[in-house]
Amino acid sequence: MARRNKYDVLVILTNNAALIWKEARGIAPDSAADKLDNAMLEWQSELTKTLEIWIDKGLAMTTDELILARANLGAVVESWLKFFYCVYYDDYCKNPITNNKGKMIEPEKASFNNLKDFSSGKLWDDASSSEYAWVDSVQHKRNAIHSFRYGDIGTSQDFLDDINHLYDFVDNVLSDFPPLEDCIEVYPAGYVMNPYIDLYVPTNDRQSWICFQLRA
């Protein structure tokens, strides 16, 4: 039995959330289920897996690789914010992000900046909180990919530190999700029951390990 590292847990938690919320129809409100049916949650999972490219390069990342790594991380964080407000779509509609004409902006169409500011008092206390500061930093470093002029993207170590914090960010978002898992009788294919633990059983016939997922 072995405990998974933070990144592997992050990948599994992301994929589990994508799988389970695609099964929300009949449990979540229809308005939320409609949003989630159309959401590319599988892309969110794939973008999270892609982070491993930059993790493996580590401190050896070149500047151009770090720019792409920052774009990758920013896309993942932005997607989680959109995911959150699609899950809570009925509540979102009661007090939504609006444009300069007062018209509601759908959560999947909201900008990263608007989502960040809107999340104060919901996912973190206010703009002075450390979590707001972290998301703001991720956003601005992500935006460097759009810049013709110089933009601060931090160092490779800064990026790796942000990947480490991403686990805590996602864990915090998921802790505020309704427990949809409790309402589903059959888990979708690919869902991992315990994201945190592997049980490895050696086989005598070949030099490999068979991994069994444990129920929490």
Domain extent, residue 61, equals 2-213
Comparing 22-31, 162-171, 193-202, the range with the smallest average pLDDT is: 193-202
Q: Tell me, what's the pLDDT at 148?
A: 67
pTM summary value: 0.89
Q: Tell me, what's the pLDDT at 145?
A: 80
Q: How confident is the model at residue 149 (pLDDT cuts 50, 70, 90)?
A: low
pLDDT (mean) for 82-106 = 97
Q: How far apart are CA 139 and CA 135, in angstroms?
A: 6
Q: How far apart are CA 36 and CA 4, in angstroms?
A: 29
Q: How confident is the model at residue 208 (pLDDT cuts 50, 70, 90)?
A: very low
Q: Tell me, what's the pLDDT at 198?
A: 82
Structure tokens at 211: 């991994």
Tokens 């029951």 sit on residue:
193
Q: Tell me, what's the pLDDT at 151?
A: 73
Query: In this structure, are residues 108 and 86 in contact, taking their beta carbons and an 8 Å threshold?
Result: yes
CA distances from 215 to 135, 160, 191, 193 (A): 33, 30, 11, 5
What's 146's DSSP letter?
A: G
Q: Tell me, what's the pLDDT at 216?
A: 35
Comparing 44-48, 66-70, 149-153, the range with the smallest average pLDDT is: 149-153
Q: How confident is the model at residue 112 (pLDDT cuts 50, 70, 90)?
A: very high
Edge-to-edge strand list for the sheet holding 2-3: 2-3, 197-202, 209-213
User: Domain count of the chain?
Assistant: 1
Q: How confident is the model at residue 199 (pLDDT cuts 50, 70, 90)?
A: low
Q: Which of 81, 98, 89 is nearest to 138 (CA)?
A: 81
Q: Tell me, what's the pLDDT at 61?
A: 97
Q: How far apart are CA 118 and CA 7, in angstroms?
A: 27
